[in-house]
Structures are given as C-alpha cells and as structure tokens.
Structure 1
Amino acid sequence: MKTKFTYYRAFLRSQKITMVLALALTTIVAWSQPVVPFTLYNNSAYTDANIYVAVVGKQNGNHVWIDTRTGAVKPMQSSDNTVQGPIYNGDGGPGLNGRYANCFARLSEIPNKVINFPGITGCRVLISFNSQLYLYFFSTTQGYAAPNLANPNDPNQGIRFEVIELSNADNGLWANTTRVDSYQYPMGLEVWGNGGFYKKVGEFKTHAQILSQWQSSAPAAFAGCYDAAKGIIHFPSKTPAFQPGGAQGNYFTSYIDQIWSKYSTGDLIFNSGDAGTWRGRVSGSVFAFTRTSDGQVARINRKPTSVEAMEGSGALAEGGEWDKVVQSQICAAINRHAIDLNLPVGATQDFATASKYYVNNPYNWYCKFWHQPDVSLDGLTYAFAYDDVFDKSSTINASSPLRATITIGGFVGLSSNPTGVTTTYKDCNYTGSAVALPVGDYNLAALNSRGILNNDISSLRVTPGYKVTLYDNDNFTGTSLVITSDNSCLVGPGWNDRATSIRVAQNTSSFSTRMEAENWISMSGVQTETTQDPSGGNLNVGWIEAGDWMAYDVNIPTAGTYTVTYRVASPNANTNLRLEKDAGATQLGSVTIPNTGSWQTWANVSHNVTLPAGAYSIGIATSSGGFNINYFTISNGANIAALSARGAAVEVNPETQERLFALSPNPVKDQLFIKDYEQIKQIRIFDIQGKEVIVIERPGSTISVQSLKPGIHIVQIERLNKSISKEKIVKE
C-alpha cells in the first residue's frame, strides 16, 4: 500500500494541468471510516476574519467539497460557481463569466474552528489569506480547476495560500504539509491516534525569518526562486531559470547523462526498502530493472529531462505500479545526489542514508533548505514529489486516528500543544470513541452538534497547561467540577450524567511542557539517532561533547520556580548539564548526570530553576559531554510541593469525609503502603505521559515501586464496587 499511495499523492500534487481529473485508486475506500476532527489554530499574523478555508476531495469516485460552516459534504456542481472573481486580460475562466465556486468560509465563521473529516480521498484543505481562492467547479466526474500560477490570467494571482493534503481511508488517516510547488506561509500539522500515537510536522520559524534565511543562504542558481514582491519561494522548475532554455534549464542534465552512460556497461543495484532490491542497466535509452527476489521488471523508458527529474514527471511518472516504484527511487536519488558515480558498476548503492543527501553537486538545494532541522521539525518536509522515499517527507499516517490540529503560521513561539484540546471518551479506559474539544465554551447544543450527548461522556483527557470546567446547567454558572492535566473518570462523582456545559481554558496555575531534544532551534556539535527509550520519542540527541549546546524556544505562563527534568543516558560517571538563557549570559542551574549503564539505558535527573514569564529561548550546554538526551520537561513545582507536604495520597468520601484509602509515604522511594487494601480490586500506575507502567490485581498492604522512574505518577484505584479514583504520587 505504501508504494501505491506514494504515487497517488505525487499525482495529486501535479499542477501541470488545471483541471483535477478523477484518480484511479487501487483500494476501495471504506466510507464508514470514523470521522476525524481537525482543529484549525491561528498562530499567524492574520486575523480569523482574514483567513479563508475550503475543503475539496473525493468520495466513492465523485468529486465533493465540505461546507466548513455546516460540515455537510456536497457534490461539486457548476451551479456552485456564484462568486465573482477578478478578470485578467478578458479571461473569464472556464465559465467565461469570471464566477467561481462559493466553497470558502472565513476561519471566524467555522464553528469552534473545527472541521470534521469523514471518509475522503484526494483531499486538500486550502487556506488563503486576505481573500478566498477562486476555484471553478465542473461536476462530480470532472472535478475542479485549481490555482495555476503559471497562467498570468489565473484569478488567483497575488493571493497567498497554503495546502494541507489528506486522505481518510481504509488504511487510516494520511496527511501532510507540502512545499512541492512553493512555500507561501509557515504551517504545522499534528495528529493523535489510539494507542498513544502522536506525530507533529511543520515549520517553527516566522515567515520573515524563513525568507531572511533563504535570501542569506541560497546559492546563485536558486536565488531566483524567491519572489520578493509576493513573499513566496517557488519550486525551482516553476521559475523561468530552470525551464528549458533558462540559465539553469540543464541543471541536472550532466548528472543524468553520466548515470545513463555509466550503467549502460554495468549494473546499478539499489535497495528500495519495502519494495526490495533492484538491479538495472541501460539499453538504448531504456533503463530496465529486475527485482532480485522474484524477477519483477520495472522500466524508465527514456532519459528524463532536468525538469522531469526535479518534478518526478514525464519519464519518471509513467507506466505500471512497479515502474513508478523504481522511478520514484531514481527521482529521489537524483534530487538528493544519492547515486554515487564513484562506486564501481555492480556495487550496491545506498540510497537510504540521509547524511549522504545534498552533499555533492548537483543537488536540489531548494529541497535541502526545507529539510534543515532549524526550519522544519525533525528535518521532515515534502519538498519534491517523491520526498517520501525512505520516509523523509512530512507525511503522517495514523491507522486509528482520533483528532488533528492544523497550525496556521507554524509552531514558532509555541512550546506545547496550543489548542488546549481535551478529548472526551465514552468509557473509563480511554478506549471508547473520542471527540476533541479545543479552547472554548460548549453548551449542551454545541456538545450535541459535535456528536456528544449529555450522558455520553464518561472520562476526559486534558492537555497539560489547560483546564476543563464542567457545569451542571447550560449557562456556565451552576455547580462545577474542574479537571486539569489529568485523565479523569467521571462515573464516580456522577458528572457524566450531570454536565450540560463545558469550558476549556488555559490553566496558568498548572503548567507542564515536554521538549523533544532533537527539536532544537539551533545547536552546535550534536547529532541525532534512533532512540530505544521505552518512555517514548523517535530520536534522541547524542555525540555530545564538551562545549556543545542546543537552544529551544519556550513560552512560560508565569514567573516562578519550575522543575526541569531531563531524560538522559550515559555510560560515564559525573557528566554534567547546565541550563542557560540569554545565549549563556544567564545561568539557570546545572545537574550531574550519573552512569545509567549504557548509551540507551535511560533515567531522569531534575533540578528546580527560577524562570521569568514570556516567550524566549533557553539552552542546554555542557562542559563535559559524554551523555545522550531524549527530551526534557518543564513543569511548575506546585503539584510536587503539595504532594510532598501532605506525605500521603488520600481519598475522602465527599459526603461522610471518611478516609477511603491512603497511599504512603509520598514521596515514595521503594515500598508504597496501602490502607484498606482489602477493598481494592486493581491498582494501575501511569507515568506523567499517560503510559501504564504497573498493573496489580488484588494488591496486598504494600507494593514495590522500585521500577518506577523518578517523578510524578498517577495511581488509579479500582475498588470491588467498581468505583474508580485517582491520585498522584512522587517517586524519588
């Protein structure tokens, strides 16, 4: 499926023709797919009233659009073309009257800024600024006319816009940001799914910073990709310089000629990952490949042009399924200059090692720019059509998606999830159907409109740094229950059948944020590697030596004392780490890192620091090096101090004030003592990220917690009468 979907998305990006034709998918879409709510968060310089949103895609082979004001899925019809657009040089567009589809809504008009996506494929979320885009709808079978900026008469000339591509199909949710045609404004994308799935992609610099960095670093050949008048960076082949006859029209021609020449006398062998190892040779102009495992044949029928190599078009986008698999590999290898012509014929080429990309000329510098980790999170982006070869794209695939957030303006200045999304569940195990609620007020009608009936909420999962208040009337004034940064089952207090309104808001009294170490804004001397840390994350930072440093943007809600906890691993004793501000001029504190046993044996070390309020950069530096770091968390110390002060986690019957159970000591080092353990059916302990770490059926009077990592943990108690309670403990 991965290889088929790669081609499908690359086709979706092609804008060589104006009309978007029907896509012949190789799978049948399950239109019973769960609806996935997408929250649009505005982190841009534009007001909600100046941001326009439209959604177009396909259902059951028909072209449709989603009315973002109502959520209704509607067929594309020429009768939708009622909006008067600009007319350039007398060109009235396909309808000859300058009228275009009335399919856009202002962000301010979208209820709760949430769009619910049903089963849909070939879908684009189009986001424009200061004006709607002018799409022309033909019919459900013919599709629509998209912006074509190569046409000087196109009505969308001068309108800034961005695109999120997605498909919600039988193989899950697929979504990505894209830089394939151009960059116009920073964007961010996050997806949550069942089983703790979470992935985040996008840019984390301002628009001005990105444009400045491009201008200061672009080599002369690519400088013309920047359109200063419009503030846009175009894909190279979309500029006159890289078109045939232009100054860079033969940019890749010599490299392609050398490849075709070298492998006319010997074999090119490469491993394509999931699709196997291929052996190929040029005969005439045809590059024919055979898969070594089963003899499957694939071809490139002629030598591609420089433009075709950049775009993954023409000779690199034709034929059958396996032809396109090989063509995508060769296209990616040309853009990245991953085909090593210094290796002898017959040697197996390594196209998968990212450190070899964009090193030797010629390579696509536009792509290199967007893959820089100080521009795009984890260096992941869609910079050319086949950037997903060896998973270097900004694609997010959630097999069982719950919700997603599109951050307009990218993640600059945001140190944690900006939306305060709370997820409501229909059971107390957090496995039932879930609906996301971003910051805002929701009365009973609003909850019902999102598919939440009054008695359907049994539990809430609240994002750290935010709080949820439940009210027992529809006016946000009655008896209330406040939940912050926690998983809370609502059965015990009976709030699942009492709450008729919910308010989601920031919680400045309780703050916690986790920073992945590899998501630096700048660094010196370090590298990343795949982590084996069971507490999560894909990468950790290593190769840290004396004098190395990393910088991160944070946004601290209020000035005060915070606990900073670092997830570290080291085979060395007494290495050190210090936290800095103001480029090292302000020392915030330091910790000693112990010998944890190996480079991938992980432990937590922490210290308390005083931080000012506001958005600024902090740095992690070292005078010794010799350790790895996976992530660090910053949280206010109020919860830890309160737990330490009372010495035990205690639950009290709210009606009789009788102690129901007690956990002591708290903080705890080795053994946790349980009062009234005879009434307990099960104890489950979770770490601060929500991962279950201990489960005990019918516990005795004590349980061992030696295996817990230092820090805050949540203890969930299920009694014999099936009531459930939770409390926090601190493991020393």
Structure 2
Amino acid sequence: MTAPIWARGAAAMAATPATFTLSFENRSGSGNAFAYVAGTAPDGKLVLLKADGSPYNPASPPAEHTPLPEDCAIPLGPVGGAPKQVQVPKMAGARIYLVTDDKLEFFLNPGPALVHPSFLNSGDPNFEKNWSFAEFTFNDAQLFANISYVDFVGMPLGLDLTTESSGRQTVPGLPSGSLDQICEELKAQGAKEGSNWGELVQTGQNGANLRAMSAHYRADRFDGYLDGYIDEVWKKYSGQPLTVDSQNPGLGKFTGQVGGDGRLTFDNGESFDKPKTADVWSCDSGPFAIKSGDSDARKSIIPRLAAALNRTTLLDNANQPTGEDPAAFYGKPVTNHYARIVHEKLPDNRGYAFPYDDVSPGPDFSGAVQAGDPVVLTVAVNAVRTMLNG
C-alpha cells in the first residue's frame, strides 16, 4: 500500500468518528459491478466487510490458498442507480477493490492472511478481469485515502470526501477511456526510442488492454536505462553541493556532495551509493532501501532523491524539492515515461505514479484525500472504455 511520507508517523489523537460512510457511484457502464473492502482491524485481525457492511473476521485456514468462506462482494447496483453505501469501522492498510462484469475470487493463507488479486500472475483467476483498487487507512487521527497508480493503471476511479466541518475534497482520477490511451502512448514511446515501454501493457486473451504496469515490474527490461542521467547527476554533485530540505522543521536541510569514494554524502553523515535504474523505479532498493534503525534524516532524504530522479529534475535543481516546477517534471528524453503519461491524463495532475509522488514543493500530486472529521467517502467507478464494445 502507498504510505504517504508525511503521514507515516502521524500520531493518533482520538478525534475521528467510530465509522465513516463509504459510497459507490457506478459509472462503469456495467450493471454488474462489485466492491470489496479489506484491511487490518485495530486489534490486528484481518477484517473484510460483507455485502450488508457488517465486519467479517475470517478464521485461519488449514492450508494455503483456501477460498474465502464468505462471499464479501458488495453489489454496486446499476449505472445511474442510487449509490450503494456501507459503514466502515477503523482499519489500517485497507484496500477497496472494484470489479465489473464478474466477481473477484479471494483466498486465505494461514494466519489468516488475505491473498490479494494478482496482476503479475497470468494464472490468477482474477488476471483477466476488469479490476482496480483504492487505498485507505482510518484510525483515531484521520481517514486517509488515495488513488494509486504505483502498481498499474486499470479501471479508472475517482474519490470525493465530505467532512463534518473541514471542507470537501475531490480527486477526479483518470477519465473514462484513459487506459487505452495510456497503453498506446507507452507503445509509441517504446517505438520512438527503441526501448521497452510497450512491454508494460498487459492484454487479455481477446486482445483488449487489461492494464498498464509501472516500470518497476519490468525493471529487468530497463537495465541501464537511466544510467546516463544518473552519471550526469553524480558528476555535477562531485563539483558542487546538493541541498535537500527534509520539509520537517525538526530536521531542517542537509547538504551533500559526491566524494572520491563515489558516494553522495551529506553533512549529517548519511551516505548514498549511486542508484541503478531499478532503484529509481522502485524507490525502495539499493541506496533507497529503508532499513530498521535508519535515522529520520535518512528517511527524509531518500524520498526526495528518488522523486527528483523519477521526475528527472535532480540535475537541474540543486535545492530539492524547493522551487521544483511541475512543468519541468519528466522533461528529459530519458525519464519515467510511465509516470509522465499517467500524469498527463489526470485532469488535476493528482495520483501516485511512483511511491514518493507526494514529495512536493507545495502543490499536491498524490491524489489523496484526508480528514479527521470524515463523513462520506465516495468512490466513482468510471468506464475502462468510453464505448465498452468499441
């Protein structure tokens, strides 16, 4: 699940209501649309919601990949009908799955642990289905929910949050018909530069586009892709300092430079090897892996380095992320074209296209809504194609 860098240490303040209303707006063009809600309850137990909204804690099964005993599909009803609503209790690390035309199949491993639908395993019973998800955590401090394209683009979703008194927040997400456009642009980018962007497109047995994956999941096909850019960055900052603002008043700013050992070392002692393309795509491997015991300073530097490399702005801006210009994001010929194309299709430029897409000099790019006084979170389920049979 995408965890926003500013919210990972949020303290509970016991301010939120016991539940919030989760509402679904079916714009999918399909009369058969279903939702599933799953997360971790405050007592640490796996919890799903049943069709009537009641919580369900499955028992640990005797064997791996045991079918979920209860049908937890929440029918959304017909397009244009009254929104389906359920009450959601406190839960963390939660996902809202949406699927059209068919139900999803869920399984349990001992624990119990929920086996989520897979977009990487073509043998998964859900692989060929039209599904997507949003994420949320609802605790004593706030409801935080977001649209994520960190893994893939599939069925487009939107979010709308109404609150008791703190205002309304809306993230429209990708419009209907965006998937095919994104897939075609990825293929065109690959053809243009003789690279493998087109391999991020997954198609079904009928030839239709199922989803477009993040480059992280085909990192082996991009080996060395960013090497030239990263080499330029390392060369520049071997001759001049780089400043990274933690954006935390308690930590301040850090200044670093590449030394004779080839490592980018900051004045607080934190040091980073030169990353590889796969490290940039994932944001959590090589020098960007966050380990147990890492300092808060390191945890604040990593997102800002990773974001600037994904957006290919690190070479041009030695004060990260201060003064970052969104118009310059992904402006280099070699960049994270998956993130570029996704953001170009977002009407408000908001939606996670890589894990640290919430790093910002001010504007929000993350596609998140959050409030301590949530009332109704509405998930809009848009059509994959503007003409379903077109």
TM > 0.5 between the two?
A: yes
Paired residues for 1:546-557 under 5 Å: none
Code of the residue aligned with 1:336 in structure 2: it is: R
Q: Percent identity?
A: 20
Code of the residue aligned with 2:180 in structure 1: it is: L
**Which residue pairs with 2:258 in the alignment?**
282
Aligned-partner Cα distance in 1 for 2:354–2:58: 29
8 A contact 1:338–1:351 mirrored in 2: no
The verdict on how the C-alpha distance between 1:409 and 1:101 changes in structure 2, with shifts beyond 3 A counting, is farther
Counterpart selection for 1:116 from 87, 106, 125: 87
**Which residue pairs with 2:5 in the alignment?**
6
The verdict on how the C-alpha distance between 1:26 and 1:108 changes in structure 2, with shifts beyond 3 A counting, is closer
The CA deviation at 1:67 is 2.2
8 A contact 1:69–1:105 mirrored in 2: yes
**Is residue 259 of structure 1 aligned with residue 236 of structure 2?**
no
**Is residue 337 of structure 1 aligned with residue 276 of structure 2?**
no
**Which residue pairs with 2:109 in the alignment?**
138
8 A contact 2:132–2:155 mirrored in 1: yes
The CA deviation at 1:56 is 1.1
Aligned-partner Cα distance in 2 for 1:30–1:138: 33
Aligned-partner Cα distance in 2 for 1:4–1:210: 24
Q: Secondary structure at the match of 1:40?
A: strand
**Which residue pairs with 2:337 in the alignment?**
365
**Which residue pairs with 2:245 in the alignment?**
271
8 A contact 1:338–1:357 mirrored in 2: yes
Aligned-partner Cα distance in 2 for 1:112–1:211: 27
The CA deviation at 1:192 is 1.1
Aligned-partner Cα distance in 2 for 1:102–1:167: 23
The CA deviation at 1:394 is 0.2
The verdict on how the C-alpha distance between 1:216 and 1:318 changes in structure 2, with shifts beyond 3 A counting, is closer
Aligned-partner Cα distance in 1 for 2:10–2:139: 12
8 A contact 2:307–2:357 mirrored in 1: yes
The CA deviation at 1:116 is 1.3
Counterpart selection for 1:69 from 41, 51, 59: 51
Aligned-partner Cα distance in 2 for 1:105–1:325: 39
Aligned-partner Cα distance in 2 for 1:196–1:33: 14
* Residue deviations 1:116-136 (CA, integer Å, cap 9, x gap): 122211111111223333333
* Residue deviations 1:75-106 (CA, integer Å, cap 9, x gap): 24234x9xxxxxxxxxxx934xx634535314
The verdict on how the C-alpha distance between 1:69 and 1:4 changes in structure 2, with shifts beyond 3 A counting, is closer
Code of the residue aligned with 2:280 in structure 1: it is: A
Aligned-partner Cα distance in 2 for 1:115–1:52: 13
8 A contact 1:33–1:168 mirrored in 2: no
Code of the residue aligned with 1:99 in structure 2: it is: P
The CA deviation at 1:305 is 2.2
Code of the residue aligned with 2:226 in structure 1: it is: F
Counterpart selection for 2:358 from 367, 371, 388: 388
* Residue deviations 1:240-295 (CA, integer Å, cap 9, x gap): xxx32x3x3222222223323433454211334346322123353543334xxxx5
Counterpart selection for 1:156 from 110, 126, 143: 126
**Which residue pairs with 2:34 in the alignment?**
52
Aligned-partner Cα distance in 2 for 1:172–1:72: 21
Counterpart selection for 2:24 from 40, 49, 56: 40
Aligned-partner Cα distance in 2 for 1:37–1:307: 39
Code of the residue aligned with 1:188 in structure 2: it is: G
8 A contact 1:317–1:324 mirrored in 2: no
The verdict on how the C-alpha distance between 1:149 and 1:210 changes in structure 2, with shifts beyond 3 A counting, is closer
The verdict on how the C-alpha distance between 1:202 and 1:354 changes in structure 2, with shifts beyond 3 A counting, is same
The CA deviation at 1:70 is 2.7
8 A contact 1:227–1:234 mirrored in 2: yes
**Is residue 236 of structure 1 aligned with residue 209 of structure 2?**
no
* Residue deviations 1:382-427 (CA, integer Å, cap 9, x gap): 11111111131101112321211100017999xxxxxxxxxxxxxx
Paired residues for 1:580-599 under 5 Å: none
Higher relative contact order (CA 8 A, sep 6+): 2
**Which residue pairs with 1:183 in the alignment?**
153
Code of the residue aligned with 1:238 in structure 2: it is: Y
Code of the residue aligned with 1:37 in structure 2: it is: T
**Which residue pairs with 1:212 in the alignment?**
181
Paired residues for 1:316-327 under 5 Å: 316-319=288-291, 320=294, 321-327=296-302
Code of the residue aligned with 1:211 in structure 2: it is: D
Count of residue pairs brought into register by the alignment = 361
Aligned-partner Cα distance in 2 for 1:206–1:5: 26
TM-score computed with the length of structure 1 as normaliser:
0.45
Code of the residue aligned with 2:41 in structure 1: it is: Q
* Residue deviations 1:476-511 (CA, integer Å, cap 9, x gap): xxxxxxxxxxxxxxxxxxxxxxxxxxxxxxxxxxxx
**Is residue 408 of structure 1 aligned with residue 381 of structure 2?**
yes
**Which residue pairs with 1:107 in the alignment?**
75
The CA deviation at 1:165 is 0.4
8 A contact 1:173–1:399 mirrored in 2: yes
8 A contact 1:249–1:306 mirrored in 2: yes
The CA deviation at 1:55 is 1.1
The verdict on how the C-alpha distance between 1:318 and 1:159 changes in structure 2, with shifts beyond 3 A counting, is same
The verdict on how the C-alpha distance between 1:235 and 1:78 changes in structure 2, with shifts beyond 3 A counting, is same
8 A contact 1:56–1:63 mirrored in 2: no
**Is residue 305 of structure 1 aligned with residue 279 of structure 2?**
no
The verdict on how the C-alpha distance between 1:351 and 1:115 changes in structure 2, with shifts beyond 3 A counting, is farther
8 A contact 2:246–2:297 mirrored in 1: no
* Residue deviations 1:438-481 (CA, integer Å, cap 9, x gap): xxxxxxxxxxxxxxxxxxxxxxxxxxxxxxxxxxxxxxxxxxxx
The CA deviation at 1:308 is 1.9
The verdict on how the C-alpha distance between 1:69 and 1:150 changes in structure 2, with shifts beyond 3 A counting, is closer
**Is residue 352 of structure 1 aligned with residue 334 of structure 2?**
no
The verdict on how the C-alpha distance between 1:405 and 1:197 changes in structure 2, with shifts beyond 3 A counting, is same
Aligned-partner Cα distance in 1 for 2:183–2:122: 25
The verdict on how the C-alpha distance between 1:204 and 1:26 changes in structure 2, with shifts beyond 3 A counting, is closer
8 A contact 1:187–1:411 mirrored in 2: no
8 A contact 1:129–1:161 mirrored in 2: yes
8 A contact 1:131–1:159 mirrored in 2: yes
8 A contact 1:33–1:169 mirrored in 2: no
Q: Which protein is richer in strand relative to its size?
A: 1
The CA deviation at 1:196 is 5.1
The verdict on how the C-alpha distance between 1:43 and 1:396 changes in structure 2, with shifts beyond 3 A counting, is same
Aligned-partner Cα distance in 2 for 1:387–1:185: 20
TM-score computed with the length of structure 2 as normaliser:
0.81
Q: Secondary structure at the match of 1:358?
A: coil
Q: Structure 1: give runs of 5+ residues left out of the alignment.
A: 10-24, 82-92, 414-732
Q: Secondary structure at the match of 1:78?
A: coil
Q: Secondary structure at the match of 1:219?
A: helix
